[in-house]
Amino acid sequence: MAFRDFPDYRAVARLNALAECPHDLTAPDGLTVERITALRASSCGFDLLYATQRVSDEVMDALQALADEAGLVETFRAMKGGAVLNRIEGFDSENRQVLHTASRDVFAEPPAAPEASARARAELDKLRAFLHDLNRGRLVNAQGKPFTTMVQVGIGGSDLGPRALYLALKAHAVEGRSARFIANVDPDDAAEVLQGLDLSRTLVNIVSKSGTTLETLTNERLVCAALERAGLDPARHLVAVTGEGSPMDDPSRYLRSFHMFDSIGGRYSATSMVGAVTLGFALGMEAVLEILRGAHQMDLAAEEPDIRRNLPLLMALLGIWNHNFLGCRTVAVLPYSQALSRFPAHLQQCDMESNGKSVTRRGEPVRWLTGPVVWGEPGTNGQHAFYQLIHQGTEVVPVEFIGFRRSQYGEDIEVYGTSSQQKLVANMLAQSLALAAGKRDANPNRAFPGNRPNSVLIAERLTPRTMGALLALYEHRIAFQGFCWNINSFDQEGVQLGKVLATQLLAIMADTSLDRSGAGEAGSVAAGLLHRAGML
Amino acid sequence: MAFRDFPDYRAVARLNALAECPHDLTAPDGLTVERITALRASSCGFDLLYATQRVSDEVMDALQALADEAGLVETFRAMKGGAVLNRIEGFDSENRQVLHTASRDVFAEPPAAPEASARARAELDKLRAFLHDLNRGRLVNAQGKPFTTMVQVGIGGSDLGPRALYLALKAHAVEGRSARFIANVDPDDAAEVLQGLDLSRTLVNIVSKSGTTLETLTNERLVCAALERAGLDPARHLVAVTGEGSPMDDPSRYLRSFHMFDSIGGRYSATSMVGAVTLGFALGMEAVLEILRGAHQMDLAAEEPDIRRNLPLLMALLGIWNHNFLGCRTVAVLPYSQALSRFPAHLQQCDMESNGKSVTRRGEPVRWLTGPVVWGEPGTNGQHAFYQLIHQGTEVVPVEFIGFRRSQYGEDIEVYGTSSQQKLVANMLAQSLALAAGKRDANPNRAFPGNRPNSVLIAERLTPRTMGALLALYEHRIAFQGFCWNINSFDQEGVQLGKVLATQLLAIMADTSLDRSGAGEAGSVAAGLLHRAGML
């Protein structure tokens, strides 16, 4: 594959010209029934309504041309097949395959990357056996009682995706089972989680790909100390998920050990054992398989070359239109589903860590915008919080709405003639239209400029399968954008410097202990660090 | 007060010139021990370290001149004294005083706004009596047992601030008491909260200033239905916080009723009864008073005219420097404290709903940037998520770090010679320095551009008093910025259009019910709405 720079595509010049005068959603015929009906795409149970984006047929054609010129779908297929896409040409880099899709390609015969999928199958078999032992009462605590809680200890990719998925699907939990999460090195995080638990009935799942993550190892020790204080043997309560051959890959210390692989980046690892062990404990094996099936279905759908029929590719290109051509600097992901409350936090990692880059795949500085800031909170809550700025602020914020026609628990009430779920969906659609169409008013403070681009992603109900598809949809939207920007979306060198400096600062602290008398001292310590780090 | 437009200040021209060549933090002497020691301000137990901002003495002087020219402190004093600042000159607007400070001016003699503070005192007396009755066993459930949980039902300002404060101070909870929150109209939100509770021991606190908030009234009905299904009498379980004379101001329906007032905006209401009732239940009366004392102390500190000695004013001006002069479009608030996990969500409302505006206080369109997008998650979690983009992305994101020298629970562990709390603080300081100083590297993918502006706000420990001060610090940083941009930070007309459209859409749904067969139908319904709303 010959990767080209973003401005070198002919379609980019065409799109720049079209961006001079984007579709006006506030015009009298800016948003018609025909438009709403036509600008709609469907896949894996999701419909994407994008009439409220500032696109015309010409823009859509140019975006298609961009996708074709840049070979986005070909690169995606190559990724699934095991191409070494995690690299920077000509420089030292991770040099790895990118095979999170192999975790769910276990249903295909043959899979696109047979070796990786075989490894994924082997881990699934270990998980099935583990859950079986728990369900049959073969794996119990010292008193012979079943475990009721699994605490996942991990951070970043070993926390955000699994946590978002657990919260999303908690309504489907196995009776008597639940999960909790500890991530932060802040000791109050662990203290708060542990204080409410019956530790004798708790399994602790330590998750670190490298087996060296400072926060996770520290919290493992903290949890072990709590277990010991409660008179419990950590070895009977801990399981581990780690890379093969990592310092944590020591089955003698854990009840069970599961593996993750170099070809799966942390932020893409929710469908590997990183997510599957805790989700399997709390939701059951079948729910895990359903998540994988949903993701697998979306993995297949992402190979469609027609942008109007490929949801992840379409969302990627609409995002590029808003970001690189219309100049919007952030993206808000606003799920109208309380269960998806932490999905935006997962996407912050998945998107910003993937595409917050400044050099190309050849190591040259980029001369175009790469990944935007991604943020969001569930609606309708956000309507009573930051929507003021989205409607009337000086910053145009593209919005990706996500919603479902039915609730999870089914405990609803009709007030003023409609159910809560209807109110939820009605509010989402109303916001989409309000942002797009705006409103004139003689009182300037009550006028709405409109033309605020957004799209609505809607499915029937949030189930394990829908969740898997949604997760994969965003993974691929992010990857397609990274391909298009000619960056490596799969490394994270930008996290290194802070780590190195923190380690040096801690070395100073270990000698002198943190001076508690004032920030002046903290300042000197920091300055000392700067000095020792050779930066003064 | 004669409000002028932002570009009309002489200091703005000066700052524009200075912004051509901002302080270079990556230069050999860009970040010295002297600079770190000098660029530091202290107030109410907080130190602000701002050596890592791109400011020089000239910039600081020009920012001081801007504060003086714009009369920021005078306007703030006028606000505290009861000036009608919530208005748009010459147009229909809310026309209200802005007196959230009066809620904590109850300790002053005389208070700046005596009437409002007298009202606040009367409500505090009612709260004291209520808590007393609970503590003495005079107010118990039908079985004579004490209440253990308070569920606050509210949304926006009636949810985010109180929830953020409760989570921040949960470590200080009264033995046997806790709080939960229901906000979203999504029925799964209430279902998830209610399913884990012993309703017979639960008080439900319905909070709506207008007494007409759709989500809150719907959730009130949903909770009452759940109480009735459990054989309980809602009238013995509900308390209310609402505006005087609102449709909810009906003491016969509630065990106790508390008032909030027109002069306090929802997003500034955490220190009124909107926050105090639930916080008082869970943390006790003394904690509520401590929050008020901390906020009151910051309210006084914000009257200092010297920007180098006034924390909220200094943070406001540093924010304006980054946003209006250096062109940064967002602000990340990153607390190195798990307890502050929801504080950024509160700030999203407080800041973006206040300053996401496009017309001046005279109703003219602004020709300068107003409020930025505010977002954030706790560190160190964020380091493993979105920090990649902050360090190496194409978008420069100013960061406001917040940290504490000591933990709340005090349950810590020493690993590799340092405690978790030391690791937490070391990481925060390291990130601050890394963002500012950057790093050269022969491998372009491992180079860090630096010059990413940030500041560190640090205090001894997160207590009710510190929390009160921190809350007020941000309230005033936001208000100072709004004054400077010549906008009305205290209304929220931008939330109206979505509400109106949702109501119309719901009217259609109430007739036809939400078609569940596909988004095509939803699209037609939406189109029907657009049609009926006269927007086609």
pLDDT of residue B514: 44
Q: Do B421 and A385 touch (CB under 8 A)?
A: no
Mutate which: B160, B383, B394, vs A, most A CBs within 10 A? B394
- Residues paired with residue B373 on neighbouring β-strands, in sequence order: B330
Q: Do A526 and B170 touch (CB under 8 A)?
A: no
Between helix A496-512 and helix B420-437 the angle, nearest 10°, is: 130
- Lowest average pLDDT, out of A160-169, B160-169, B392-401, B508-517, goes to B508-517
Q: Report the residue from B388, B433, B514 with minimal CB separation from A530.
A: B433
- Lowest average pLDDT, out of A11-25, A498-512, B331-345, goes to A498-512
Per-residue pLDDT at A518 exceeds 50: no
B-chain CB neighbours of A327 within 8 Å are none
Amino acid at B184: N
pLDDT of residue B504: 86
pLDDT of residue B127: 98
Q: Do B502 and A423 touch (CB under 8 A)?
A: yes
Q: Report the residue from B156, B389, B536 with minimal CB separation from A356.
A: B389
The nearest alpha carbon in chain A to B383 belongs to A495
Q: Do B422 and A217 touch (CB under 8 A)?
A: no
pLDDT of residue A528: 66
Q: Do A430 and B502 touch (CB under 8 A)?
A: yes
Q: Do B381 and A353 touch (CB under 8 A)?
A: no
Q: Do B494 and A47 touch (CB under 8 A)?
A: no
B-chain CB neighbours of A338 within 8 Å are 184, 186, 188-189, 192
The sign of the dihedral angle between the CA atoms of A331, A337, A342, A347 is negative
- Residues paired with residue A448 on neighbouring β-strands, in sequence order: A439
B498 vs A336: CA distance, rounded Å: 14
The set of residues, in sequence order, having a beta carbon less than 8 Å from that of A365 and lying 6+ positions away, is A358, A359, B444
pLDDT of residue B3: 81
Residue A3: pLDDT band by 50, 70, 90 thresholds?
confident
Nearest-CA neighbor of B494 among A41, A384, A343? A384
Q: Do B530 and A384 touch (CB under 8 A)?
A: no
Q: Which of B220, B353, B400, B475 is catalytic?
A: B353
Q: pLDDT per residue over B51-99, tens digit each?
A: 999 999 999 999 999 999 999 999 999 999 999 999 999 999 999 999 9
Nearest-CA neighbor of A444 among B93, B254, B410? B93
Give the E-state strand segments of A202-355 in sequence order.
202-208, 238-243, 256-260, 330-336
Instruction: Supply the DSSP string of B2-56, one letter for each residue.
Output: ----GGGSHHHHHHHHHTTS---TTSTTSS-HHHHHHSEEEETTEEEE-TTSS--
Amino acid at B80: K
Mutate which: B445, B504, B531, vs A, most A CBs within 10 A? B445
For residue B110, the distance in angstroms to the closest alpha carbon of chain A comes to 34
- Residues paired with residue A458 on neighbouring β-strands, in sequence order: A47, A403
Question: What is the pairing mode between strands B256-260 and B238-243?
Answer: parallel
Q: Report the residue from A369, A409, A535 with minimal CB separation from B191.
A: A409
Q: Do A536 and B366 touch (CB under 8 A)?
A: no
Give the distance between the most distant pair of CA atoms in chain A: 74
For A344, the 3-state DSSP assignment is helix
Q: Do B523 and A329 touch (CB under 8 A)?
A: no
In degrees and rounded to multiples of 5, residue A242 shows phi and psi of: -155, 170
pLDDT of residue B12: 98
Residue B511: pLDDT band by 50, 70, 90 thresholds?
confident
Q: Report the residue from A381, A497, A516 with minimal CB separation from B439.
A: A497
**B252 burial type by CB count under 10 A (0-12 exposed, 13-18 middle, 19+ buried):** exposed
- Lowest average pLDDT, out of A512-521, B239-248, B331-340, B394-403, goes to A512-521
User: A530 to each of A498, A527, A534, B427, how far by Cα in Å?
Assistant: 12, 5, 6, 14
The nearest alpha carbon in chain A to B534 belongs to A28
The sign of the dihedral angle between the CA atoms of B140, B142, B144, B145 is negative
Rounded to the nearest integer, the mean pLDDT of chain B is 94
Give the E-state strand segments of A178-228 in sequence order.
178-182, 202-208
Per-residue pLDDT at A521 exceeds 60: no
The nearest alpha carbon in chain A to B377 belongs to A345
Residue A194: pLDDT band by 50, 70, 90 thresholds?
very high
Mean pLDDT of the region B449-475? 98
Q: Radius of gyration (Cα) for chain A, nearest Å?
A: 24
User: A101 to each of A20, A97, A353, A354, A364, how far by Cα in Å?
Assistant: 38, 11, 18, 16, 29
User: B473 to each of B42, B43, B44, B83, how far by Cα in Å?
Assistant: 12, 10, 10, 20
Ramachandran sector of residue B176 (left: φ over 0; alpha: ψ -120 to 50; beta: rest): left
Percent of chain B's residues with pLDDT above 90: 90
Q: Do A373 and B388 touch (CB under 8 A)?
A: no
Rounded to the nearest integer, the mean pLDDT of chain A is 94
Q: Is the Cβ–Cβ distance between B25 and B52 less than 8 Å?
A: yes
In degrees and rounded to multiples of 5, residue B511 shows phi and psi of: -80, -50
Return the structure tokens found at A445. 């403070």
Per-residue pLDDT at A530 exceeds 90: no
Residue A534: pLDDT band by 50, 70, 90 thresholds?
very low
For residue A95, the distance in angstroms to the closest alpha carbon of chain B comes to 13
For residue B364, the distance in angstroms to the closest alpha carbon of chain A comes to 7
Per-residue pLDDT at B522 exceeds 60: no
Q: Report the residue from A51, A355, A495 with minimal CB separation from B387.
A: A495
DSSP A175: T
In degrees and rounded to multiples of 5, residue B328 shows phi and psi of: -80, 135
For A103, the 3-state DSSP assignment is helix
A226 vs B145: CA distance, rounded Å: 33
Q: pLDDT per residue over A88-125, tens digit each?
A: 999 999 999 999 999 999 999 999 999 999 999 999 99
Mean pLDDT of the region B424-440? 95
The nearest alpha carbon in chain A to B521 belongs to A37
For residue A438, the distance in angstroms to the closest alpha carbon of chain B comes to 8
Return the structure tokens found at B248. 């909810």
Ramachandran sector of residue B221 (left: φ over 0; alpha: ψ -120 to 50; beta: rest): alpha
B-chain CB neighbours of A367 within 8 Å are none
Q: Is the Cβ–Cβ distance between B401 and B520 less than 8 Å?
A: no
- Lowest average pLDDT, out of A295-299, A498-502, B476-480, B521-525, goes to B521-525
B-chain CB neighbours of A222 within 8 Å are 411-413, 420
Mutate which: A386, A396, A454, A525, vs B, most B CBs within 10 A? A386
A357 is a catalytic site residue? no
Our CA angle for A453, A455, A460, nearest 5°, is 165
pLDDT of residue B531: 56
Give the E-state strand segments of B252-325 in sequence order.
256-260
Q: Is the Cβ–Cβ distance between A391 and A452 less than 8 Å?
A: yes
Mean pLDDT of the region A268-291? 98
Residue B219: pLDDT band by 50, 70, 90 thresholds?
very high
Give the distance from CA B278 to its chain's centroid. Answer: 17
Mean pLDDT of the region A25-47? 93
B499 is a catalytic site residue? yes
Mean pLDDT of the region B369-394? 97
Q: Is the Cβ–Cβ distance between B265 and B248 less than 8 Å?
A: no
A-chain CB neighbours of B405 within 8 Å are 514, 516, 522
Q: Report the residue from B49, B92, B499 with minimal CB separation from A519.
A: B49
B297 vs B499: CA distance, rounded Å: 38
Q: Do A187 and B409 touch (CB under 8 A)?
A: yes
A527 vs A392: CA distance, rounded Å: 43
The nearest alpha carbon in chain B to A427 belongs to B502
Question: What is the pairing mode between strands B149-153 and B202-208?
Answer: parallel
A109 vs B267: CA distance, rounded Å: 56
Q: Do A514 and B405 touch (CB under 8 A)?
A: yes
Q: Do B494 and A329 touch (CB under 8 A)?
A: no
A110 vs B406: CA distance, rounded Å: 56
Query: Cβ–Cβ contacts within 10 Å for residue B441, how many?
Result: 14
Residue B509: pLDDT band by 50, 70, 90 thresholds?
confident
pLDDT of residue B520: 42
A181 vs A310: CA distance, rounded Å: 34
Query: Cβ–Cβ contacts within 10 Å for residue B210, how many?
Result: 13
A-chain CB neighbours of B348 within 8 Å are 377, 385-386
B-chain CB neighbours of A353 within 8 Å are 385-389
Q: Is the Cβ–Cβ distance between B188 and A339 less than 8 Å?
A: yes
For residue B392, the distance in angstroms to the closest alpha carbon of chain A comes to 5
Q: Report the residue from B388, B495, B524 with minimal CB separation from A492.
A: B388
A439 is a catalytic site residue? no
Q: Do B413 and A187 touch (CB under 8 A)?
A: yes
Give the E-state strand segments of A94-247 in sequence order.
149-153, 178-182, 202-208, 238-243
Q: Is the Cβ–Cβ distance between B140 and B200 less than 8 Å?
A: no
Q: Which of A20, A109, A175, A384 is catalytic?
A: A384
Q: Which of B20, B175, B384, B411 is catalytic?
A: B384
B369 vs A505: CA distance, rounded Å: 38
Give the E-state strand segments of B427-483 in sequence order.
454-459
